[in-house]
């Protein structure tokens, strides 16, 4: 009997101290979301559309991927030249020659760079993501709820045991800062979505993309779509699922981010505004250089 009781207490103790996972993170209900959005100042129509189409099932996964990714080593593989990437980037240029020619004439960004970027982002559209974009940003706003912050911090502390990058006080303070910053950024992106919706440029009920809230071939976030998207056809609504519009939009983004011909540092700076990673910028330029010499 004593042995049985000891076993029961051991099981209960293990259960109580089980490591938290993304499944422990909890989304708020529809009423909370509705009140939050209206209080923030979103229109009733945008609020109802967002709440009605909200997908809580992806909550824990989206929040943990966005908030804890900094504890996962970055992709050094981006600097390793992949022969397949070179072939695909060159082929994509041939398949979309008109759009690349127009983009290079209008924005001054080489076709090889744009094609290489689109390959790294989504394999030229093969992998654009399946997360509901509006839901992603509604998820991130809720990450700052006290219980979610507590669980995220516990998860971060566990991950840090293997990377050993931060002290406990440093990581606790950093998680609080990251969660607050990410939730405010999510609010900014929801504002951009509301502005885009008002112009009837996107169907937000069906818009899907990555867990980070980016969509289309170039993986633009909503504010990037609002500010930099461009269409091959004058006065047409940019469609980032369309290769031609994706090409024009990326070239416009890089141009406005400071891209300069024959200025390597300006090129790296522009690419890092797209994705704040030196590996990312170097990876694109490495593929681009090989594409140029292969043609």
Q: What backbone torsions phi and psi does residue 6 show, to the nearest 5 degrees? A: -60, -40
Question: Is the confidence at residue 205, as pLDDT, over 80?
Answer: yes
pLDDT band at 201 (very low <50, low <70, confident <90, very high): confident
CB 127, CB 146: distance < 8 Å: no
pLDDT band at 1 (very low <50, low <70, confident <90, very high): low
Question: Is the confidence at residue 295, as pLDDT, over 60?
Answer: yes
Those residues whose C-beta lies under 8 Å from the C-beta of residue 184, and which sit 6 or more positions away, are none
pTM beyond 0.85: the answer is: yes
Task: Give the span between the Cα atoms of 173 and 88, in whole angstroms.
Answer: 44
């Amino acid at each position: 009997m004593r042995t049985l009781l000891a076993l029961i207490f051991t099981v209960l103790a293990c259960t109580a101290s089980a490591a938290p996972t993304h499944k422990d993170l909890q989304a708020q209900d529809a009423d909370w979301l509705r009140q939050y959005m209206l209080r923030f100042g979103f229109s009733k129509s945008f609020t109802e559309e967002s709440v009605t189409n909200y997908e809580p099932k992806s909550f824990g996964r989206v929040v943990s991927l966005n908030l804890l990714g900094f504890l996962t080593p970055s992709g050094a593989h981006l600097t390793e030249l992949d022969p397949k990437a070179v072939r695909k980037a060159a082929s994509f240029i041939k398949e979309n020659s008109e759009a690349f020619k127009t983009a290079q004439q209008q924005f001054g960004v080489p076709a090889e760079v744009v094609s290489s970027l689109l390959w790294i982002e989504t394999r030229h559209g093969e992998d654009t993501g399946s997360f509901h974009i509006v839901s992603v940003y509604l998820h991130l706003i809720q990450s700052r709820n006290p219980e979610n912050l507590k669980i995220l911090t516990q998860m971060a502390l566990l991950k840090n045991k293997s990377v050993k990058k931060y002290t406990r006080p440093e990581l606790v303070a950093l998680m609080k800062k990251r969660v607050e910053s990410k939730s405010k950024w999510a609010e900014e992106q929801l504002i951009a979505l509301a502005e885009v919706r008002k112009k009837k440029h996107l169907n937000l009920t069906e818009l899907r993309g990555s867990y980070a809230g980016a969509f289309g071939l170039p993986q633009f976030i909503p504010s990037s779509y609002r500010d930099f998207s461009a269409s091959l056809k004058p006065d047409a609504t940019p469609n980032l699922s369309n290769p031609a519009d994706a090409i024009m939009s990326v070239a416009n983004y890089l141009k406005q981010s400071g891209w300069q011909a024959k200025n390597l540092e300006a090129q790296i700076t522009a690419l890092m505004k797209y994705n704040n990673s030196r590996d990312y910028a170097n990876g694109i330029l490495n593929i681009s250089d090989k594409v140029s010499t292969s043609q």
